[in-house]
Amino acid sequence: MAGWVALAAGMVLVGTIAGAPGVLLVAVLTLGYASLTAVWTRYGTNRLEYERRLTTNRAVAGDDVGLDVTIWNRKPLPLPWVTGADRVPERLTVRERPEMPRDDQQPAMLLLRNDWALAWYERVVRHFHLEHVRRGSYRFGPADLGVRDLVGRQAVEQQVARQDSLVVAPAMAELQLPEHDSSPLGERRARHSLTVDPALYAGVRPFQPGDSLRHVHWRATARIGRPVSRRLEPARGRVVILIVDVQTIDGHYWLTWDDDAFEGLCVIAASIARRLLADGASVGAAAANFAGSSQRIAWLAPRASIGQLTRVGELLARIGPVPSASLGTLLTWLPARSPSGSTFMLLTARDPAPVLAALRRSRRLGFGVELVVTGTDANAHARAARLARLPSSVAIVDPGWEVPRAVTLAG
């Protein structure tokens, strides 16, 4: 500011001596520009509010999500030029800004730029739309704000540190089971329970002291010639743990993956979880992935509540195709954390041969084991699992994971 004042004073002196009114006018304009720039530099970002608002922080793949950007000048000083650069994840597409520059400091982020001319106490809202969001967990921000002077020079800038998040669960489709499969998905017989389900008739057994007369099967007693009692199945609901094998390519090159296969696995897992919960089962999920945290295993304890589908979707949204540990490590970790009698349902897009021994070990420990395989070699992988006496199905997403209409499990 002092330099501008000295320049203006010099021009006034020259204009007075030379009798040149034009020089005096330029001096006045120079002094006015310097004064305004000084005011904008000192007060430009004071009471200047920037807000980013998502219409929702949870969505399903394929949805459109609204993004509102609000700027509010809450002071009597007008601002002729305000700039904003907000950071948006590169995997998202803004309908109104299909081409956005990349942030040099954060290559995975794009810059949503805006310019405003704000009068005193003016508030401006701009509406954007995130089109056909993909599965994932996204974080927006921070945003950079700047106030420029009349000729476009940066007067002052600040960073708005607030960040927002968006969790996009994978899309779900109708699950179609083989017609010849009469047992429910993830079904296995419970071996013991404190109570029995009177609707689950399992046969008869010899009458024993202490049996209630209501449990005597009179017709069978008359036919056999000795008293027998009805035998009922234990009243235990199904508990299914969905195990997502995030590694989609065989070998030790964990930093390479098949994106289509991984996204298909997430769609299959979400569709199976919805069907199981609708059938009354308790559902949990696990994957060898950090899932945005410091834990090596992404783990969701089984529940049968209506909100469990949302939790499963959030876990599937946060995992990625790079494993944090081997699948064998995950299968060794699970039995100690899972309820006794649970069914482990492994969803994989690669050859399950390396982990068949771990799966058989889980079965010896009393857990049920099922495999759901997908991918180009799914039929061969399913046959290999059946040879090891492990039930397996081939999952097909029709027509594809981008817009799934049905998930078919073929025996």
pLDDT score at 191: 46
Structure tokens at 231: 């035998």
Please compute, for residue 388, the number of CA atoms within 13 A of its CA located in the half-sphere on the CB side. Answer: 22
Domains in the chain: boundaries: 48-169, 174-188+238-410, 196-234
Q: Which two tokens stand for residue 148?
A: 């420029």
Whether pTM > 0.75 for this model: the answer is yes
What's the pLDDT score for residue 9? 57
The alpha carbon of residue 90 and the mean position of all alpha carbons in its chain are separated, in whole angstroms, by 15
Q: What is the pLDDT at residue 11?
A: 55
Q: Return the pLDDT at 37.
A: 72
Beta-strand runs (E) in 170-237:
174-176, 196-206, 228-234
Pick from 78, 156, 67: which is nearest to 122 by CA? Answer: 78
Q: What is the pLDDT of residue 2?
A: 55
pLDDT of residue 200: 57
Three-state DSSP state, 326: coil
Q: What is the CATH number of domain 48-169?
A: 2.60.40.10
Backbone angles phi, psi at 100, to 5 degrees: -125, 145
The CA distances from residue 29 to 9, 20, 25, 32, 78, in Å, are 12, 15, 6, 5, 18
- CATH code of domain 174-188+238-410: 3.40.50
pLDDT one digit per residue (tens) for the chain, 411 residues: 555 555 555 555 555 565 556 555 555 555 566 666 777 788 889 999 999 999 999 999 999 999 999 999 999 999 999 999 999 999 999 999 999 999 998 999 999 999 999 999 999 999 999 999 999 999 999 999 999 987 778 889 999 999 999 999 999 999 998 765 545 566 544 444 445 556 556 688 898 887 888 888 888 888 888 998 887 655 556 899 999 999 999 876 678 899 999 999 999 999 999 999 998 899 999 999 999 888 999 999 999 988 999 999 999 999 999 999 999 999 999 999 999 889 999 999 999 999 999 999 999 999 999 999 999 999 999 999 999 999 999 999 999 999 999 999 987
DSSP secondary structure, 26-71, as one string: HHHHHHHHHHHHHHHHHHTTTTEEEEEEES-SEEETT--EEEEEEE
pLDDT for 192: 47
